[in-house]
Amino acid sequence: MSHAISVAVVLYGLWLLLSGHYVPLLLGLGVLSVLVVLFIATRMDVVDKEGYPVHLGPRALLYWSWLAWEIIKANLAVTRHILSPRLSISPTVVRVKATQKSELGKVIYANSITLTPGTVSIDIDGPYISVHALTRDFAADLRTGDMDRRVTDFVNEA
Amino acid sequence: MTLSLVDLLSWACLLGGGFFGIVGGIGLVRLPDLFTRFHAAGITDTLCTALIAIGLMLQSDSWLVSVKLLLILAFLFFTSPTSTHALAKAALHGKLKPLRYKGKEGASSST
Amino acid sequence: MFIAAALAILVTMALALTRALLGPTVYDRILAVNMFGTKTVLIIAVYGFLTGRPDFLDIALVYALINFISTIAVLKFFEYGDLGHAGTTRRKRGAR
């Protein structure tokens, strides 16, 4: 229930932000559409800790800044590979183990893998994620498990 | 016309975003198979988008515009891995197999 | 400077279109079209700044939503041959 109220507040804030017209008709329509969205979301069973992970809180900023730096580094590496005249790639598929217990953690880990260019998670099979890497180096980097540890730290100490 | 630091920074971001976009496009045409092309699309989905959005944010004169740009950026960052993963999984369930072990050093010990 | 960014995005879109036309498999084409869509979002935003009308950002936001939904819908269509398919078996959720 507290989740539903929090979702409603966030949605209405978004409505006010994007609408920019504060007349009774539009404010009322906003309330109406927030209620409809809440109804659909409740019916889809996504208004809970997993669908709306507000408990992760400010540590998300810490993780995102680390992830942003990783993304920049990986982008530069992939750019070098693409622009090199010989196209020095060695595509490979590896399976890495995700140590996160919750599905939310696994989703965050898999999405982080995909967001970092050079590695794309292509399949999830129990605790294992199949990852396609552009070169062996990217695969080796992933296998050190650094990102996995950080995601586990980020998610599990809620 | 005087150049402020913010202007310089935003122009650097815009040009950098354009550069990475073109690199991603080149990669999309140049790379040999679907699964390697994901990585090229990944470049344009992450750094190119982020740099251009940040460059525009620095140029905007109202905070509302910046917030909208931030929303666009956040939305693209949350959806692009989802659609990439959906595409990869669909391709894998189709008949496509990724090119593997194409390197010259022979197969590594990946499982 | 906005013009330079817009031109760069246009070149990227042309390259994505090349891959969409060449693409041996349907998945290559979907990937290219998805990328084309993301670049469209960016070029709408840049065009809004170029003409001094930041209202264009609303259109860019909506286009980003439509692009994502359409990619997923096309993928679902190719995977199941039916947009109304419920997907794989529904997982029962434990009380949490």
For every one of its 158 residues, what pLDDT tens digit does chain A have, with 9 covering 90 and above? Answer: 777 888 888 888 888 888 877 888 988 999 999 999 989 988 887 777 666 777 777 788 888 888 889 899 889 988 888 888 877 788 888 888 888 888 888 888 888 888 888 888 888 888 888 888 888 888 888 888 888 888 888 876 54
Q: Clarify whether residues A70 and A38 are in a common domain.
A: no
For chain C, how many structural domains are there in total?
1
Whether B53 shows a pLDDT value over 70: the answer reads: yes
Q: How does the average pLDDT of chain B come out, rounded?
A: 81
Sequence letter at residue A114: T
Contacts of A122 (CB under 8 A, 6+ apart): A93, A130, A131, A132, B35, B85, B88, B89, B92, B98
What is the C-alpha R_g of chain B?
A: 18
Q: Is residue A48 part of a domain?
A: no
Q: Is residue C10 part of a domain?
A: yes
ipTM, 2 dp: 0.79
Q: Is residue B109 part of a domain?
A: no
Euclidean distance between CA atoms C72 and A76, whole angstroms:
29
Q: Is residue B98 part of a domain?
A: no
Q: Is residue A143 part of a domain?
A: yes
Whether C96 has its CB under 8 Å from any CB of chain A: the answer is: yes
- Which chain C residue has its CA at the smallest distance from A45's CA? C93
Q: Clarify whether residues A23 and A91 are in a common domain.
A: no
Q: Are the Cβ atoms of A93 and B110 closer than 8 angstroms? A: yes
Q: Clarify whether residues A94 and A64 are in a common domain.
A: yes
For chain A, how many structural domains are there in total?
2
Q: Is residue B105 part of a domain?
A: no
Q: B42 vs A111, B17, C24, CA distance in Å?
A: 12, 13, 20
Residue B109 confidence (pLDDT): 37
Contacts of B37 in chain C (CB under 8 A): 19, 28, 31
Q: Is residue C72 part of a domain?
A: yes
Q: Is residue C94 part of a domain?
A: no
Q: Clarify whether residues A79 and A143 are in a common domain.
A: yes
Euclidean distance between CA atoms B41 and C20, whole angstroms:
13
Residue A35 confidence (pLDDT): 92
Whether A18 has its CB under 8 Å from any CB of chain C: the answer is: yes
Q: Is residue C93 part of a domain?
A: no
Whether C83 shows a pLDDT value over 80: the answer reads: no
Contacts of B30 (CB under 8 A, 6+ apart): A82, A87, B40
Restricting to B residues 26-85, those with a Cβ less than 8 Å away from any Cβ of A are 26-27, 30-33, 35-36, 38-40, 42-43, 46-47, 50, 64, 67-68, 77-78, 80-82, 84-85
Q: Is residue C15 part of a domain?
A: yes
Q: Are the Cβ atoms of A89 and B98 closer than 8 angstroms? A: no
Q: Clarify whether residues A30 and A80 are in a common domain.
A: no
How far, rounded to the nearest angstrom, does the alpha carbon of residue B7 sit from its chain's CA centroid?
24
Q: Is residue B107 part of a domain?
A: no
Residue with tokens 């696994």, as numbered in its chain = A106
Residue A33 confidence (pLDDT): 92
Residue-range definition of the domain harbouring residue A37: 2-43
How far, rounded to the nearest angstrom, does the alpha carbon of residue C39 sit from its chain's CA centroid?
8
For chain B, how many structural domains are there in total?
1
Euclidean distance between CA atoms B16 and B18, whole angstroms:
5
Asked whether the beta carbons of C46 and C9 are under 8 A apart, the reply is yes
Euclidean distance between CA atoms A22 and B22, whole angstroms:
42
Which residue in B17, B44, B56 is closest to C49 by CB distance?
B56
Q: Is residue B74 part of a domain?
A: yes
Q: Is residue A54 part of a domain?
A: no
Euclidean distance between CA atoms A28 and A34, whole angstroms:
10
